Chain A
Amino acid sequence: MKPFTYERAKSPAEAAAAAARIQGAKFIAGGTNLLDLMKLQIETPTHLIDVNGLALDKIETTPEGGLRIGALVRNTDLAAYEHVRRDYGLLSRALLAGASGQLRNSATTAGNLLQRTRCPYFYDTNQPCNKRQPGSGCAAIGGFSRQHAVVGVSDACIATHPSDMAVAMRALDATVETIRPDGSRRTTPIVEFYRLPGNTPQVETTLEPGELITAVLLPKPVGGRHIYNKVRDRASYAFALISVGAIVQKDGTGRVALGGVAHKPWRVEAAEAEMSRGARAVAERLLVGATPTHHNAFKLPLVERTLGATLAEARG
């Protein structure tokens, strides 16, 4: 790791102001992704702002009947929270499908949203990567791309977003609450929070420099069957090849979001109108315009079949 100075944040507003003021500053919470990347010198912050002492670790019911999940709520605690298990089962299931018990005990809600891709070329500092070193090129395009994105890709990047939790958050219409360096607060619907790679794959969210996530908000529960089906190379402790998060109502309508197929959790609301017509119709609309590589073309039928299994499970 490169040397860095360190401070414990005293308030969200001061943390955000400091992050914008000090060049090379980064927030640290769980640290499970950031420290991994710092050891490889993929991330080289000169100053760390430890936000763990901020009282952002509560889950509260909102006046609208939804939930306000503090940015520092650990993945384990969010998955185990009674209200989440009962009314937002998709979120519990997605969290429990990710990482290991140890990592879920450290990793936070906001950190999970902001984790970086596990593209092997992003991790290999001997390889060009537009996300790690803008303008250097993309070794994944034309390289080993079995794990990579099939929709929403660009000529600059075909990396996927690795989070399971974010797939559930997308299906649940979460919004991200933040504080900006000037002290003002805003909320951003998760659909507007993540960016596609385009020509600037290093910019992954619509957060401004120094902006700090303080909470994630969930609207009131929508009912239905909540299912998260993750397909991976190992039965546990592996990132998704693809995943399907679904909420299916008794009348067959519902919502579907995908993981492992794009630079962000992937949901196409228009596809959900096809749910009564079955998995193939939904998958076709979800993956319209897909541009898979030779290595990851299997993801298209895998999505359709996993979605088919998910809808059958919901009916059963």
Chain B
Amino acid sequence: MQDSNELEISRRNLLIGSVASATATAVPSVVIAQPVPEARTIPIPPPVMSKVSFDVNGKVHALEVDTRTTLLDALRERLLLPGTKKGCDHGQCGACTVIVDGRRINSCLTLAVMHEGNHITTIEGLGTPENLHPMQAAFVKHDGYQCGYCTPGQICSAVAVLDEIKAGIPSHVSSDLTQLPQATAVELRERMSGNICRCGAYSNIVDAISEVAGRKA
């Protein structure tokens, strides 16, 4: 009896959209049924809007966004470019990797308003289904994915990694800081460590990047 009564109150709370927590189900129903007093509502500060304009895949976009909007959310939710993926949203997985002014970054850990005048390349800007970027083609050829969710980030990261090696940027596994780094498998694994693949396609990803690196050399 007691149990069914509590269940009834819980359902009622759910139906009226009350914010009362689960513990409130122990309170007599007469109290619950009263309207929530004004004083109990927590004031929510209004969002702050700000203007920003940047180039995405060769097209300039002028946006007015809530200042809290990450670059990732601006790309996906405002510009409707869902190729860039939201994985952890905390810079730990690399699914959101895009290339900003030639550098790969985590688009989840940067605000849209911080990118005034920047040039941003997403997976949609690298190639098209009819005309794949060499890195996209190599990922297909080498089966460098399984579910595909991390793949746009992997590919954007991989394209930038080869540019970083070409520019002579050393890595943790470079044995000599004064020598130009090479696109060895060991170097590629270290440099791609910011892109997690839950399906574990890592060895095929390294094969794909190695092939593109070899073609470039």
Interface residues, chain A, with chain B CB atoms under 8 Å away: 1-6, 8, 28, 30-32, 35-36, 39, 48, 50, 52, 76, 79-80, 85-86, 89, 92-93, 96-97, 99-103, 105-106, 235-237
Contact = CB atoms under 8 A, between A and B. Distances in A.
B198 interface: no
Contact of B48 (A3, A28, A36): A3
B67 A3 contact: yes
A1 B111 CA distance: 12
The 3 closest A-B pairs by CB, nearest first: A100-B194, A236-B193, A237-B193
B-side interface size class: 35 or more
B92 to A, nearest CB: 9
Contact of B89 (A5, A39, A96): A39
Contact of A79 (B48, B170, B193): B170
Contact of A39 (B66, B90, B160, B174): B90
Contact of A6 (B94, B113, B190): B113
B59 interface: no
Interface of B: 45-48, 50, 66-68, 70, 89-91, 94, 97, 103-106, 109-111, 113-114, 116, 157, 160-161, 164, 167-172, 174, 177-178, 189-195
Nearest to A8: B116
B215 to A, nearest CB: 21
A48 B109 contact: no
Contacts of A30: 110
B106 A106 contact: yes
For chain B, what secondary structure do more than half of its interface residues adopt (helix, strand, loop), or is it mixed?
A: loop
A52 B100 CA distance: 14
Nearest to B172: A96
A2 B160 CA distance: 33
B68 A4 contact: yes
A80 B168 contact: yes
B94 A100 contact: yes
A235 B194 CA distance: 12
Contact of B91 (A36, A76, A80, A85): A36
A85 B45 contact: no
Contacts of A52: 114
Contacts of B116: 8
A180 B50 CA distance: 28
A5 B66 CA distance: 10
Contacts of B47: 3
A202 B46 CA distance: 29
Contact of A5 (B48, B97, B168): B48
B34 to A, nearest CB: 30
B24 to A, nearest CB: 20
